Structure 1
Amino acid sequence: MTTTSPATPRDRSPDADTRAALDAALARLRTGSADWRALPAAARRDLLREVRAAVADAADDWARVAAESKGLDPRHPLAGEEWLAGPYAALVALDAYAASLDALARGRSPLAGVRLGTGPGGRTVVHSSPLRASDRLLLSGYTTEVWLQPGVTPHEARDAAGLASRHPHRAGGVGLVLGAGNVTSIPFLDVLYELLAEGRVALLKVNPTQDALVPVFERAFAPLIRAGLVAVASGGGDVGAYLTRHPGIDHVHITGSETTFRAIVGTGEDRLRVPITAELGGVSPIIVVPGRWSKADLRFQAEHVATMRLHNSGHNCIAGQVVLLSRDWDQREEFVRELHRVFGRTPQRPVWYPNAADRLQRVRDVYPDAAWFAGDTRAIAAGGGEIETTEYFAPVLGVIDLPGTGAAFLDAAVAHANDRLTGTLGANVLVDPATLRDLGAGFEDALARLRFGTVAVNAWTAFGFLTPTATWGAYPGGTIGDAPSGIGVVHNALLLDGVERTVVRGPFRPFPRSLGRGRFSVLPKPPWFVTSRTGRAVSEGFTRFRMDGRVGPLLLTLVRAFGA
């Protein structure tokens, strides 16, 4: 999400030259919309393959510029975030969309060959990853499922998959994508969704925090820009406001804050006249189910929690913000001590997002007893209150105690997350294999009760963001008048209809401790962990394998992964 508004204030307007350039871009897109409608699925697939080549060509600059814009040396281990959350995410999405278009071109459903199952309440479950051998290796032990809304049958799911790409000749119009300012693949992926799921050509208005990446986006989108299907614009709130009220726009999509969303929707005579979808973030829980954990488990999962909060310096809509612990867990104090240790030893980095310093000061004022680390740039605060209702978008973690153990604690945590925390974007659950077995079917029922668009079990919900065949967005039910985490979904490269949520599952223990102890994984410490010493090298290596498929360099990357 973003906290600076790409669409306000409305008391200013771009200068005449800027307005003329935007008008011309929208006119070209209007023509391009007709051309897009004329392209069958096979031609769209081939065009995506051209975009893929363009992304691969721009990947080095993409990762470098993104790291530098956040105050990171591109060689720093944490710069691996910019490889995975930038060109890697773009490449895997393009491959997944191309596979769906290829299926449609052959007269098949994008779900052909994808395993379907049944979840709680008879829900249809789409086992959306891994679908390729390379995913089973690189992301060993991690899976995603898309749960469809109750009542959607497997037959209906297969028949509806494809969305607008099933009917390319229907008019889609021109969409405005107001890009996020924090994660560099978000604007790119949102544009792809406009094209392929909604059938709309798109004007991407880049957030000012990503202005340095405009040339990269233009290179990556070059085949689509030449075809008149995409345009890229930069500028401040005046440009965003002009575009949201432009008669050449048929739809608006924003990744941002609820405040920005409200400003765009407007009121009275200034009310937005076209439909809008949005991803607006929220306060994400990390539910820690009490069990019997080894010292290694406590350390690993503390690093896991720290990653959920400190990745990208906390400037993530899906950052874990509130840890829900059992006050009756006999290892509670030990786990909290491990959290404090990892917050203290994780490399210090810039808190770079606009207004983050003000939000950190707000935490000092509201939580005077909070523990501060890394030169007072990150904090852990005990107790509830504002941290449950305000997305800080900064490296601040809350710890809240609830009663009970086992199923009683899980029920209390689910109710607290649903009823006390703002937003419905994502929830994380950490549970050891023995406790998971003891909970039995009740655990899946508890997942079904969590009203969040992505739920991750022994994983971070960001894994769902990074998986193109998963879906990303708020839990269903958001409206113009009440959308704390937004409306609609994105990514969704299988082009599924009737989506309720994505469920991510990962290993509780890394290799070699995963051997015979729950869900198996060959991965040691994942490269996206903020404590990984080889995060940049491994993340870059994974991206280069997606670019060229060369096995030799991949083997070297996997060796490096064991040095994390």
Structure 2
Amino acid sequence: MTIDTRHGAPQFPSASSTITSSSRETMDAAIAELVAHKDDWLQTSVAARIALVETLIADFSEVAPRWVAASLQAKGLQEDSLYAGEEWLAGAWTLLHSLSQLKKALLDIQQDGHPHIPGPIKTRPDGQVTAQVFPWRSYDPVLFGGLKAEVWMQPGVTAETLSSTQAVNYQGSTQTGKVALVLGAGNVASIGPMDVLYKLFMDNQVVLFKANPVNAYLGPLLEESFQALIKPGYLRVVYGGAEEGTYLCQHPNIDEIHITGSDKTFDAIVFGPGPEGQARKAARQPLVTKRVTGELGNVSPVIVVPGPWSQKDLAYQAEHLASMLANNAGYNCNATRVIIQHKDWTQRQPLLQQLRQVLSKLPTRKAYYPGARQRYQAFLDAHPDADQYGTSDEQNLPWTLIADVDANQTDDICFTTEAFCSLFAETTLEAGNVVEYIERAVAFANEQLWGTLNITILVHPSSLKDSAIAAAIDQAIAQLRYGTIGINYWAGAGFVLGTTTWGAFPGHDIYAIQSGNDVVHNSLMFSRPQKSVLYGPFRGPLTPPWFTNQGKIARKLFPKLLRFEKAPSWLKMPSIIKTAILG
């Protein structure tokens, strides 16, 4: 089996599935049903949509425990696993949380024509508008421990015109009903359903969802819990691999396509596979001319800013960095792939040593995603001196750190290629001072690393008391060409917040798609966002429950959060807080 591991996200090999592929007759019938109801969906009132979402919340809440159990089984995890909380958080809670936000947005639209922005709207000195979108409700400061988030708008949007860029498909313009094909991702259980909701409620299109063979086992549960959309003909679910996907992408009654996955798959959809597809791309002659959007991969960086880090800081941030990789066994497009450090920082090696200690204690995980072993080996072939921690056998891959990659080797696989497995790298930059280092790190991330999906910056609060460093960080946020930026908090958390956007930095076209050309989630329905920025405490009083060293707490806490999300109440908060502290 040949795995394309150069430049970009992987080209994943075909995956087997326990679900029988849909026949062409079945797929045609599903599309015909959607075509028959696409205009009905346009005419569905906001009040009726609110009622649909309320039903989805109730129905998915009932299915959620089985949803989580199926994911755990497929990923080789026991209910009491250190990693079990992930499936409650990213797999189930995130979807229910998104539905709650969608309901609130629709209620706001019903009242005022657009979703309400929960925080202040500001205009930066350069004229760019930012809107604080998280916390989005009164519970969030308690649940998320100081985390805040903004959405930065594209140039040209003003504070006065911002609301007119929200929920544009609800502003009475003449529309034509459309059928969207959503090609599900196989790694995180909530991705496919949330993409379905985005196309339906934000883009106003009925949806044909093709489950990914890797997690097609969730398809029947999705059909069960989304009957409120299936019964009236607004959603259909089909199954299959590349052959079925190709048929659907080229179907004349599919108007738009959305994919979460690899740039290689995106190119195969738009231009066709193999050398012929590459030739079409070079000639700028796409095979599929309908609109195709994607949320794709990334070589996600973390910029470590030198500062007066204590031993506790080093230990905390080592757990933070390890958690960014270990989540979902590294099969995330937002997993950290390159840690950037100042070459002469005295704490560089102590941080790496702490990170090695964390990795050495982490249980290894099943390499469940297709092609993982071959991708992993390609990195090892390029860096045979990589540090490996834990068991490597037929089931598991070790946690792996490739330290001190030469930043001048711009074509190194660590910089050009998303590993999409249990591996990340570290590199260093020379600079005369911290401000110069920040500037060089921003340029390196923008120019040398593949993709524009997400990036994280770790900077000590004492460093930010230096006005020059604080100004350099502010300038870095403005200059970084990434769709999500995390300051002292893993940018990947932006995936679960919902009110933030999730997707690439705008500007990619189909001929150089990189991390994609659209956003999802975005429950406040901004039509002209540029990036989302998360701000968290450098080291808060409570360790976030998604850290790997909080696994025992997480598997107890997240089921409670799921029940809370179904029916939020302050009466449930004491039990949640107690569990978050004591487990």
TM-score category of the 2 structures, normalised to the smaller one? over 0.9
Determine if contact 2:10/2:419 at 8 Å carries over to the other structure.
no
2:205 aligned with 1:197? no
The CA deviation string for residues 62-98 of structure 1, in whole angstroms up to 9 with x for no partner, is: 1111111111112323111111112211111111111
Counterpart of 2:578 (choices 540, 553, 559) is: 559
- Give 2:565's aligned residue: 546
The CA deviation string for residues 103-142 of structure 1, in whole angstroms up to 9 with x for no partner, is: 1112342136542112362211010010211111111211
Determine if contact 2:481/2:505 at 8 Å carries over to the other structure.
yes
Task: Give the deviation of 1:534 after TM superposition.
Answer: 1.4
2:558 aligned with 1:526? no
- Give 1:518's aligned residue: none
Map 1:504-519 onto structure 2 (within 5 A).
Answer: 504-511=534-541
- Give 1:208's aligned residue: 213
Task: Give the deviation of 1:174 after TM superposition.
Answer: 0.3
Aligned with 2:545: secondary structure?
Answer: coil
Task: Give the deviation of 1:220 after TM superposition.
Answer: 2.2
The CA deviation string for residues 305-335 of structure 1, in whole angstroms up to 9 with x for no partner, is: 1111111000000111000011111111100
- Give 1:517's aligned residue: none
The CA deviation string for residues 464-504 of structure 1, in whole angstroms up to 9 with x for no partner, is: 11011100100010101011101111111000121110001
Counterpart of 1:486 (choices 506, 509, 516) is: 516
Determine if contact 1:101/1:165 at 8 Å carries over to the other structure.
no
Aligned with 1:401: secondary structure?
Answer: strand
Determine if contact 1:77/1:534 at 8 Å carries over to the other structure.
no
- Give 1:475's aligned residue: 505
- Cα RMSD for the two superposed structures: 1.9
- Give 1:520's aligned residue: none
Change (3 A) 1:189 1:366: same
2:472 aligned with 1:437? no
Determine if contact 2:484/2:532 at 8 Å carries over to the other structure.
yes
Determine if contact 1:6/1:240 at 8 Å carries over to the other structure.
no
Structure 2 runs not aligned, ≥5 long: 1-8, 272-276, 393-397, 407-411
Quick one: distance in 2 between partners of 1:173 and 1:289? Answer: 47
Task: Give the deviation of 1:160 after TM superposition.
Answer: 2.0
- Give 2:409's aligned residue: none
Aligned with 1:171: secondary structure?
Answer: coil
Determine if contact 2:179/2:208 at 8 Å carries over to the other structure.
yes
Which amino acid in structure 2 is aligned with residue 367 of structure 1? H
Aligned with 1:352: secondary structure?
Answer: coil
2:143 aligned with 1:138? yes
Change (3 A) 1:242 1:6: farther
Which amino acid in structure 2 is aligned with residue 403 of structure 1? E
Quick one: distance in 1 between partners of 2:129 and 2:254? Answer: 36
> Normalized against structure 2, the TM-score is what?
0.90
Change (3 A) 1:2 1:555: farther
Aligned with 2:214: secondary structure?
Answer: helix
Aligned with 1:228: secondary structure?
Answer: coil
Counterpart of 1:495 (choices 520, 525, 538) is: 525
Determine if contact 2:380/2:386 at 8 Å carries over to the other structure.
yes
Determine if contact 1:322/1:397 at 8 Å carries over to the other structure.
yes
- Give 2:324's aligned residue: 308
State the percentage of identical aligned residues. 37
Quick one: distance in 2 between partners of 1:448 and 1:5? Answer: 38
2:435 aligned with 1:407? yes
Change (3 A) 1:270 1:162: closer
Counterpart of 1:380 (choices 401, 406, 419) is: 401
Determine if contact 1:2/1:181 at 8 Å carries over to the other structure.
no
Change (3 A) 1:283 1:112: closer
- Give 1:277's aligned residue: 293
Task: Give the deviation of 1:261 after TM superposition.
Answer: 0.8
Task: Give the deviation of 1:560 after TM superposition.
Answer: 2.3
Map 1:121-520 onto structure 2 (within 5 A).
Answer: 121-167=126-172, 170-266=175-271, 267=277, 268=280, 271-376=287-392, 377-382=398-403, 383-384=405-406, 385-404=412-431, 405-438=433-466, 439-511=469-541
2:38 aligned with 1:33? yes
Quick one: distance in 1 between partners of 2:107 and 2:543? Answer: 35
Aligned with 1:494: secondary structure?
Answer: coil
> Normalized against structure 1, the TM-score is what?
0.93
Change (3 A) 1:445 1:112: closer
Quick one: distance in 2 between partners of 1:508 and 1:270? Answer: 46
Q: How many residues align?
A: 546
Quick one: distance in 2 between partners of 1:112 and 1:318? Answer: 26
Mean alpha-carbon deviation: is it higher for 376-385 or for 110-119? 110-119
Determine if contact 2:117/2:133 at 8 Å carries over to the other structure.
no
Determine if contact 2:430/2:437 at 8 Å carries over to the other structure.
yes
Quick one: distance in 1 between partners of 2:388 and 2:582? Answer: 29
Determine if contact 1:80/1:528 at 8 Å carries over to the other structure.
yes
